[in-house]
Amino acid sequence: MNIMLKKILSRLSVGVIVTNAVRLVLILGFISSFYKGRELAMAFTIMAFIATFIPKILSKFDIHTGAEMQVVILLIIYGSLFLGEVRGFFAYLWWWDILLKGVAGLALGFIGLTVILALEEQELLDASPFMIITLSFALSFTLGALLEVIEFSLDNWFGFALQQIGTGIMAHDLIIDGVTALVVSAGGYLYKKRGGGNPMSGFIVRLMKGNPKLFRSEKHLESSSDKIKSIIQKGESSKLEFKSSLRTNLYTNVLDKNIEFAVLKTLSAYLNTDGGILIVGVSDKGEILGLDKDAFPNSDKLKLHFNNIIKEHIGTQFMPFINYELFDVDGKNVLKVECLPSANRVFLKENGQEEFYMRNGPSTMRLNGSALVDYISQRFN
């Protein structure tokens, strides 16, 4: 019984539990609104319930939003729709809509800043810190104005009274949007001027990386493919290695932990030496094989698995030194992994044992005994 319960719980993520909990609350809210004859509240609960399926619907089109977007959607639904309309907070608390407008404005400000910084990080935008933050303010304010237009349209088309709630004046709401966008942009400017990167969770960056066909032009995709090809043509070296697959033995066509461990050995060796690039899905001779043999249902599952084995065998603390991305090369996916040299020694963990690896030319070497002590004292002094 305990084993079955553990299996069920393992399949349930926090996002799934929260999403279904909000859906249940919305259903109860709809039933309550139906008996009280509150048509506006009924309409909002229906729209909110449909909105909870947006990430799932987008995934059908190979657009993957991730857990962060689901949380944002649920917070907006619960705050602005359920608490605001179904519970009647707008009617009893005069400041509730102003508070939500401010929070929504801050959220839009962070979204605008994150999108612009993500464009810069992905080398799709090259501008000064001032211009980057100016663009972020413009984008955030535009998103706020777009929401006001949507509210105005709903009021006129369906007879709602969304803009009569709270401040009741569109100009006031736009001022709130502008002030919050300015505050976030100013903070982003100071952060950027100090040399910081993306101060947010990196959700937009991951969204762009996970959906390159949606965010990048065909010209850029072709150039990315060409870049990977040019790297592969250089051949293996002390800082470049190829692996044919991530977890499948191509001779037996079965999943093999040794194949997986070989990938991890190279990564730990890079971390312990001078860093390097590992490309998975390419043979030793530079032939592009792809990752189909690894039998992952989709790219998200592959990335999740790769992320988990790094955390388990190398350590979560070393994740910032490892950057990986899937590329489409001649219609086949390859995984490019870039490792930075670590300031701390990295031991590869397997079956309760720890092993230490470093790079020696184009090969990975295991060190132990006095050789290990000497190398650590020299490399990590």
Instruction: State pLDDT tens for residues 144-159.
Output: 788 777 767 766 776 6
Q: What whole-number distance in Å separates Cα of residue 119 and Cα of residue 125?
A: 6
**Beta-bridge partner residues of 255:** 248
Instruction: Identify the pLDDT of residue 89.
Output: 55
Q: What whole-number distance in Å separates Cα of residue 242 and Cα of residue 266?
A: 10
- Which residue is listed with tokens 């590869």? 348
Given the DSSP bridges, would you call strands 353-360 and 363-367 parallel, antiparallel or unpaired?
antiparallel
Higher pLDDT, 168 or 289: 289
Across residues 313-339, what is the average pLDDT? Answer: 88
Across residues 178-196, what is the average pLDDT? Answer: 71
- Amino acid identity at 330: D
Instruction: Identify the pLDDT of residue 267.
Output: 95
Alpha carbon of 114 to those of 120, 124, 135, 193, 200: distances in Å?
10, 14, 11, 15, 6
**pLDDT higher than 70, residue 276:** yes
* Band of pLDDT at residue 198, cut at 50, 70 and 90: very low
Instruction: Identify the pLDDT of residue 299.
Output: 82
Helix (H) or strand (E) holding 247: none
Across residues 287-294, what is the average pLDDT? Answer: 92
Across residues 17-30, what is the average pLDDT? Answer: 76
pLDDT tens, position by position, 101-132: 777 777 777 777 777 776 666 666 666 777 77
Alpha carbon of 161 to those of 34, 38, 169, 185: distances in Å?
19, 13, 12, 32
Q: Please give the mean pLDDT across all residues of the chain.
A: 75
Across residues 257-274, what is the average pLDDT? Answer: 93
**278 and 339 Cβ atoms separated by less than 8 Å:** yes
Nearest to 266 by CA among 368, 364, 376, 366: 364
Q: SS3 of 18, please? A: helix
Q: What whole-number distance in Å separates Cα of residue 252 and Cα of residue 259?
A: 12
Instruction: Identify the pLDDT of residue 270.
Output: 95
| Residues 6+ positions from 330 with CB-CB distance below 8 Å | 225, 288
Q: What whole-number distance in Å separates Cα of residue 232 and Cα of residue 67?
A: 34
Triad 85, 86, 88: Cα angle to 5°: 60
* Band of pLDDT at residue 75, cut at 50, 70 and 90: low
Classify domain 226-379 by CATH architecture: 2-Layer Sandwich (3.30)
**pLDDT higher than 90, residue 269:** yes
Output DSSP code: residue 84: I
Q: What whole-number distance in Å separates Cα of residue 79 and Cα of residue 30?
A: 16
Half-sphere exposure of 348 (CA within 13 A, CB side): 23
Q: Where in the chain is the domain with CATH 3.30.950.30?
A: 226-379
Percent of the chain's residues with pLDDT above 90: 23
Percent of the chain's residues with pLDDT above 70: 67
pLDDT tens, position by position, 3-22: 554 444 444 455 567 677 77
Backbone angles phi, psi at 236, to 5 degrees: -65, 145
CA dihedral 271, 276, 282, 283 (to 10 degrees): -80
Half-sphere exposure of 92 (CA within 13 A, CB side): 7
Instruction: Identify the pLDDT of residue 173.
Output: 73
